[in-house]
Every structure is written in C-alpha cells, then in structure tokens.
C-alpha cells in the first residue's frame, strides 16, 4: 500500500513539475528567449536529416543535392580560427548515393556551398564539414563568385550587426533542370536564402530567391518576404515561433531595417512596402509573390515589365565571353555530356542555349 502511495505521489509531482516547466517555456518563448534550434524548418517523416557540428541539412536522394541547410550564425563565429581547406569529400553520415568530385570535373560548374566555408571557419571540424559534398551544389561560376558570394558576405555582416542570425539556404527545383556527371547531379535553376534576426528590439526576417546565373543587380532586387519563399518551396520556416509572431515576421519585409554595407543603396530599386506582383503566370493567373520592386513585378516576371528588353541573365555577352573555350556543360539526350567546346558565359554551346 505504501508503495502504491509512493508511486502515486511521484506521478503527481512529475505532472505538476512538467506543467510548470511547459508554462515557463511558453512564457519564455513569448518574451523572445532562445528556442531549441530555431533555425530548423519543419520536417516531414521521410526527410533524410543529417546533423553536423556547424549545420543541419535535409538531403534529397533523388536529385543528389540538399533540399536545405540550416544553422545559427553568431558574431563570434565570423572571425576565422582556421583556414579554408578546399578538400571536398563525401559526407560520411549520408546513407544514400551522393555526388563525387568526378561528377563536377569538366562540367563547367563550380562546387558551390550552401553553408559557406567562411561561416564555418570557427573550428577545424566545422570547416571540414563545410566541404562535404552533401553541402555542395552545381553553380555557375558567375553566380557562385558574384551575386551569391555577395549575399553570403552580407549575411555575415548581419550576424555582426545583430549578434546572431538564423539562416536557411536551399535549392528551388523546377521542371526542365539539367544534370551533371555520372551520378546525374541536379543543377538547380534557383537558390534561396531566408534569414531571421530574433534579437530584440528589432526582430525581423528577410528572404531571397536568386537565379543560378550571373547578375549585376543589387541584392535588394531579389529581396522578398519569407512567406514568398515558403510558397515557392513548400517549406515551413521558423515554425517554432508563436504563430502570431511568425505571421508578422514572415509576411512583411522592411529593407530599411537591414544594413546594406556591402551593396549599393536600395532606394532606387524598391518601393518602401511590398505589393502583389503584377505578373501573369503560365496558367493565366496573377502571380501571388510579393515584391518591393518599384515596377511592381517580382524577380520571376521582370520580362513582363512594359518596354522591358530581352533579359541576358545579367551578363554582357559581348564583353564577358570566355577567353578560353570550355566543354559544353549540357547533357545530351543519350545522358552524356555534350562534347562541343564553347566560349559562352553560361558554359553551354549554341545547340544548348548558349549565350
């Protein structure tokens, strides 16, 4: 009888303790106290999630690249402790097939990071992990070394400005993509990045979707709400936030709340508040993306702006053609890499839509 009373007492005590712990946690979250891995998007049961020291990734075994990588970046982690090693290796925790270095050899694409090596320079282990091929995607050199690198530098500056930011970077997989190498590694047509500053009093969020191509546009040209990125990707970012707060942060964007020290001023490019894109989709409906572009069209429908000239992917073809021809990066109908040589800026020959 005493034993029964003892266990009953323990159960009641643990229940009460758990209740007060839950209430305390809920109140802390409402006050903006730290969450457990706030950077992680909402996952699905069949997602292949890999946890590394510096970042977490969701791997897509069909496309042989990551859906996303997520990590928290602090001001202290920005300053390098170790040097970049440039040693690309397979991910030892990946259970399915992945890319190899030979898949990229001669493809014309850079091995582009999702979690940048410069964000992982605070320890030897994190630097090594940043070069796992599961964290790498095929990126055009003009993209990887241009607008994408500029965005990576800007995020690091925000980490310094705001002490800590939460970052999710991933790929937008659309129909008509190409592949490279024997393992048929998917070449994304777009990349995205969402950033959350959850430090009071200036809590804010911002998103970007940028085509995998060279661009001379300022970063603000590609800035959109996190909600817009969620609509394109189908991923629920920062879902641990209180719903009202998540709705507020992800549905709005204020470019003036972010510093743009590494880019040109945005006032000439954007209006002060987001509006629904005026563009028309392939189904004949109005685009649902929100945009800050002063012309009222989002990044996907700039070609529909009245009087717009045909786009050249942000590259001046007459002055930026390759001085040394390279092998066309496109894949033929037989599944092999095209054998033609090209001087086109996008790395493709005339038959495969070279510039």
Residue with tokens 């990551």: 66
Catalytic residue among 52, 113, 221, 352: 113
113 carries an active-site annotation: yes
Q: Which residues does the annotation mark as catalytic?
A: 113
């Amino acid at each position: 009888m005493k034993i029964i009373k003892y266990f009953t007492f323990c159960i009641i005590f643990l229940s009460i303790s758990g209740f007060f712990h839950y209430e305390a946690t809920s109140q802390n979250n409402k006050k903006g106290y730290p969450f457990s891995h706030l950077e992680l998007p909402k996952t699905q049961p069949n997602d292949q999630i890999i946890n590394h020291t510096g970042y977490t990734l969701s791997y897509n075994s069909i496309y042989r690249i990551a859906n996303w990588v997520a990590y928290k970046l602090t001001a202290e982690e920005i300053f390098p402790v170790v040097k970049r090693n440039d040693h690309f290796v397979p991910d030892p925790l990946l259970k399915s097939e992945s890319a190899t270095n030979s898949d990229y050899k001669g493809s014309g694409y850079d091995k582009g990071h999702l979690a940048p090596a410069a964000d992982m320079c605070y320890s030897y282990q994190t630097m090594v992990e940043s070069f796992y091929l599961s964290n790498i995607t095929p990126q055009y050199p003009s993209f990887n070394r241009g607008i994408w690198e500029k965005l990576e530098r800007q995020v690091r500056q925000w980490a310094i400005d705001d002490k800590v930011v939460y970052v999710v970077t991933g790929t937008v997989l659309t129909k008509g993509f190409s592949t490279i190498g024997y393992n048929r590694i998917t070449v994304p047509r777009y990349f995205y990045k969402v950033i959350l500053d959850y430090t009071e009093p200036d809590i804010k969020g911002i998103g970007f979707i940028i085509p995998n191509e060279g661009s001379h546009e300022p970063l603000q040209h590609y800035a959109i709400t996190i909600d817009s990125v969620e609509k394109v990707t189908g991923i629920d970012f920062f879902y641990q936030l209180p719903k009202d707060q998540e709705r507020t942060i992800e549905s709005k964007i204020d470019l003036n709340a972010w510093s743009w020290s590494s880019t040109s001023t945005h006032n000439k490019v954007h209006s002060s508040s987001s509006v629904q894109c005026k563009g028309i989709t392939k189904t004949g409906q109005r685009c649902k993306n929100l945009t800050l572009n002063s012309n009222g069209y989002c990044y996907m429908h700039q070609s529909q702006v009245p009087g717009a000239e045909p786009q050249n992917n942000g590259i001046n073809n007459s002055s930026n053609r390759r001085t040394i021809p390279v092998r066309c990066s496109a894949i033929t109908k037989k599944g092999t890499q095209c054998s033609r040589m090209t001087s086109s800026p996008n790395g493709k020959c005339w038959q495969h839509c070279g510039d």
